[in-house]
Chain A
Amino acid sequence: MSEKKDVWQGTLALMVLKTLHTLGPLHGYGIARRIEQTSGDLLAVNYGTLYPALLKLEQEGYISSEWGVSDNNRKAKYYKLTRAGKKQLEREAREWEQTKAIVARFLTPGEEVT
């Protein structure tokens, strides 16, 4: 059970970075909503676990945070992708592609090696 959590945590970080890359600075609620949307509502993100993940990313220097004002004039903490974050995003995206390709080769019916 915890393994699954780790996997999701890893991909959660990737999803957060990608979201920020695409949409620019965004608050935690917005990120969560966007992830849900992008996954076609297949993922029901536990919003609670999002915030510790955001903290971790901030501590590692991939995102930075700043208090700002939302559309509805509400105070909210906005997160922004840093340059290091952008590099990490590219790196992780590449790794995903690799993993995807390798797994695909296994799963595609191909030539039998006798």
Chain B
Amino acid sequence: MRGLRAWFWRFAGLFRKERQDREFDAEMESHLQMHIEDNLRRGMSADEARRQALIRLGGVEPTKEIYRERQGLPVLETGLQDLRYAARALRKNPGFTIIAVLTLALGIGANTAIFSMVNALLLHPYSFPDLDRLVLVWENRGIDEGVDARSIAPQDAADLFNEAPVFDALTTYRCGNFNLNAEGNVQPLLGCRVSANFFAVLGVNPAVGRVFNSAEEQPGTDQVAVVSYGFWQRRFGEDATLLGKAIQMNGKKYTVVGIMSRGFHYPVSTELWVPLALSPAEKVDRTKLSLESLGRLKAGVSVAQARIATDSVALRLQREYPATNANRRTEVLQLRKELYLYSLPLFLLLQAAAVLVLLLACANLANLLFARIFGRQKEIAVRTALGAGRWRLARLFVTETLLLSCIAGGVAIAASFWSVKILRTSIAPSWTMWVPGWDGIQVDRAVLVFTLLLVAAVGLLFGLATVLHSNDKHPYTTLKEAGRSAMLGSAGRVRSALVIAQVMFALVLLVCAGLTAQGFLRLVDAYGGFQAANVLRTEIRLPEKSYADSSQLASLYDRILRGNAALPGASAASVVTNSPASNVDNETTFFTIRGRSTLKATQAPSADLQISSPDYFSVLRIPLVAGRVYSYADNADAARVAVVSRSMAARYFPKGDELGQQIKLGATDSTEPWMTIVGVVEDVRQNWWNPTNRPTIYEPFFQAPQRSTVFLMRVTSNPAGYAASLRDVVRGIDDQVALTGVGTLETEITDSIAIIRIMGVLMALFGGVALALSSVGVYGVLSESVARRIPEIGVRLALGAEPRDVMKLVLVRSLKLTGIGLAIGIPVALAVNRAMSSAIFGIVSINLFLLAGFTVLLLVVALAAAYIPARRAMRVDPVVALRYE
């Protein structure tokens, strides 16, 4: 308490310096006078009295200084002094200041931009209260079947909630397409059937109206709907009377009871929610993993505990219901991390690259600072002689670097408002709407705090590093030594080490940039096994009630296909259940091979299932490997046939005898018809994130007609121009059929890897910056070392060396520095290459040419950077140089 009071006094004392000085002088004077009077009374002479008094008082000046220090807060005062000094120094050296600020701002800005993405996408993808307690719960058979296969059986979900005491609540839902009938048009919508507690579990409230109650979860009383804010805005123009009105979907009337708040779209991009009304049979079903599930953990329960608890329930279910639950385990994952499988490696890479850029910028800055320190040796010696301790000097340098760092931080933040906005708007909304949290990428408080911390860390680090490497020599020696022969032995080595580090970072960064850029360039190859050019694509959705009969379905599609194939310039038209670049994995199915030993229901092999019309293979130019593809003759009346992919044939028919064998969908006891394998086609890579070729079964569309399909048509040129004709043809056949996402396949593919493209651009940018920074670094170190060695060069020249020899000296030094940097950098770059290719499958692979190329590039750049200093060295006049000494 007393200490605090004292502190306040001292703080106030900062503002009363003059008055306090005067008072102290007066007090000392009065003390002296009184003592002198006493001495006079004792009989001393006037001089003696004064002398004795002064002696007893002790030194006035030191006392004054102690007193003054006590009065104010020396730390603050000297701090302010240092700040003013630093600001003045920066103003006097505008060249240095601008370069330093820009370099640092670049490094800091890169990290700010990347962190804004990391913050929005990895840390806060959703704005639900207590996000960390929300978990996804699903079942699998022990193998990872991808993000889209996270589902659970209804009765299993009920059992998990009841028996594992880790959940506050568990909600289930199922999403799908709804066809909205409005103004005679059919518009497809993404909608989800959700349990009544869905919104409560997420912790969200509707903006208007209400959400579902448990009465509405029964079949028959479930025709109510909650819509999203965006949907209300777009399709109903924020009509205030929408509540209570009915909308027509899938042929049924749904009464709108609530409108969600702006920005709520869980699950991603959902516009519509209706109650999940399971029939009594469905409620107790264990056979089909037909629902998705989300839970809120109890307070204090960790995800690990939840996993253990749910797993033990799963084991019990395995034992009690072997027919349905064999091999079934549960998984629990925090909602926040739902996309980490894909997003984490990408962002780690970006963040690492940004950090490398910052380190490069810092290395450059350090070199610049050391050069300045070198020029200030005299000043430092004088300060030390006047009594500045190491700590005081440290404070001086740290203040300077912090000031620099703060200015750079300010510039970086200003620039980041612009750069972050560009990042956020660089990918089409039709893709970003699938990425939770994307719209939250902005320079918000968390990003600002991060930047400030970075600024402080950089400033402190640099200040301290500068102090550690400033001379330990006795100030006397420095003051005595003339001219520039006061060599900074250790600091020179540190500068060399910094440059070596810069070259290493630059190489690694360049290699990463090159790999990502190259990966993007090979984008078409990321999708393998087909040709995407000149293919038109759209999705077809039929209205709910019509075409109930599969023969009606078949004839509808037959007409659609023939009508479009007849368009001028169209070479072939087809439909398929899942097209490449759809961002969705194929449907998977168990299958049985005739004649192979019987397996239990849950142990049957599985493959991807594609149902396509005959021309699918020619539209996408998928090569045929053996046998034949099916034709229009393989229709409902003909024998069942199938085509398999090459990897499927290789895995299940290693002897190569697949043609003629029979398979059927489902397990041994399934009643599906046997299909004869008539052909083998090349493997198709549908999505860039899936590197493995899954075994695929192709079933003829006309033997298993589907309601919703993807329509693909090959044309001779300009596929986009066919959009209108396509719509006309389909409308002419049935105007209730909805077409969505009409576009070219190539655009779909490009959009689907937009994130890689962004990364490629960012990495190329970082690589370019790295190259620039490290070449500036090499140049800086070399020119400074030449300047320092002018006397030595003068001596050499005077002793008979050729100017060319001197130039060689400089070039050799440059090569040596770069060489060491590269020698260390190459294995690091290789390791990074390997890590990248395993984390970002399919895009990146080991590429030694790239590595060799950049190594050579850096060597060339180093030589170029050495050129000017070398010429300067050559032109040294030995007479002048020696005289300067």
Q: Which residues of A contact B (CB under 8 A)?
A: 27-30, 33, 46-49, 51-52, 55-56, 58-61, 70, 72, 74-77
- Please tell me if the beta carbons of A47 and B67 are within 8 angstroms of each other in the complex: no
- Please tell me if the beta carbons of A52 and B27 are within 8 angstroms of each other in the complex: no
Most chain-B Cβ atoms within 10 A of its Cβ — which of A27, A30, A48, A60? A48
Indicate whether A48 sits within 8 Å of B59 (C-beta atoms), given known contacts A28-B27, A55-B67, A59-B9. Answer: yes
- Please tell me if the beta carbons of B37 and A72 are within 8 angstroms of each other in the complex: yes
**CB-CB < 8 A to B59: which residues of A?**
48
- Please tell me if the beta carbons of A61 and B35 are within 8 angstroms of each other in the complex: no
- Given A30-B34, A76-B30, A77-B30, 7 further pairs, Cβ under 8 A: A29-B34, A46-B58, A47-B31, A47-B57, A52-B67, A72-B34, A74-B33
Indicate whether A60 sits within 8 Å of B33 (C-beta atoms), given known contacts A28-B27, A48-B63. Answer: no
B29-52, CB < 8 A from A: 30-31, 33-35, 37-38
Closest chain-B Cβ to A37's Cβ sits at a distance in Å of: 12
Give A28's nearest chain B residue, CB to CB.
B31
Closest chain-A Cβ to B16's Cβ sits at a distance in Å of: 13
Give B12's nearest chain A residue, CB to CB.
A59
Give B56's nearest chain A residue, CB to CB.
A47
B1-40, CB < 8 A from A: 2-3, 5-6, 9-10, 23-24, 26-28, 30-31, 33-35, 37-38
Give the distance in Å from the alpha carbon of A55 to the alpha carbon of B67 in the complex: 8
- Please tell me if the beta carbons of B66 and A52 are within 8 angstroms of each other in the complex: yes
Give B35's nearest chain A residue, CB to CB.
A29
Closest chain-B Cβ to A94's Cβ sits at a distance in Å of: 17
How many residues of B are counted as interface, with CB atoms below 8 angstroms from the partner's CB atoms? 29
B71 at the interface (CB under 8 A from A): yes
B801 at the interface (CB under 8 A from A): no
Q: Which 7 A-B pairs have the closest CB atoms?
A: A48-B58, A48-B63, A59-B6, A59-B9, A60-B2, A29-B34, A29-B31
Indicate whether A74 sits within 8 Å of B58 (C-beta atoms), given known contacts A52-B70, A60-B2. Answer: no
Q: List 28 A-B contacts (CB under 8 A).
A: A28-B31, A29-B30, A29-B35, A30-B34, A33-B38, A47-B35, A47-B56, A48-B57, A48-B59, A49-B63, A51-B27, A51-B28, A51-B67, A52-B63, A55-B67, A55-B70, A56-B6, A59-B6, A59-B9, A59-B10, A59-B70, A61-B5, A74-B34, A75-B26, A75-B30, A76-B27, A77-B26, A77-B30
B60 at the interface (CB under 8 A from A): yes
Most chain-B Cβ atoms within 10 A of its Cβ — which of A51, A61, A70? A51
Give A77's nearest chain B residue, CB to CB.
B27
Closest chain-A Cβ to B68's Cβ sits at a distance in Å of: 9
B853 at the interface (CB under 8 A from A): no
Q: Which DSSP category, helix, strand, loop or mixed, fits chain A's interface?
A: helix
Give B65's nearest chain A residue, CB to CB.
A52
Closest chain-A Cβ to B120's Cβ sits at a distance in Å of: 50
Closest chain-A Cβ to B52's Cβ sits at a distance in Å of: 12
**CB-CB < 8 A to A76: which residues of B?**
27, 30-31, 34
**CB-CB < 8 A to A56: which residues of B?**
6, 70
**CB-CB < 8 A to B34: which residues of A?**
27, 29-30, 70, 72, 74, 76
**CB-CB < 8 A to B24: which residues of A?**
51
**CB-CB < 8 A to A49: which residues of B?**
58, 63, 66
B280 at the interface (CB under 8 A from A): no
- Please tell me if the beta carbons of B30 and A59 are within 8 angstroms of each other in the complex: no
Give A48's nearest chain B residue, CB to CB.
B58
Give B59's nearest chain A residue, CB to CB.
A48
**CB-CB < 8 A to B387: which residues of A?**
none
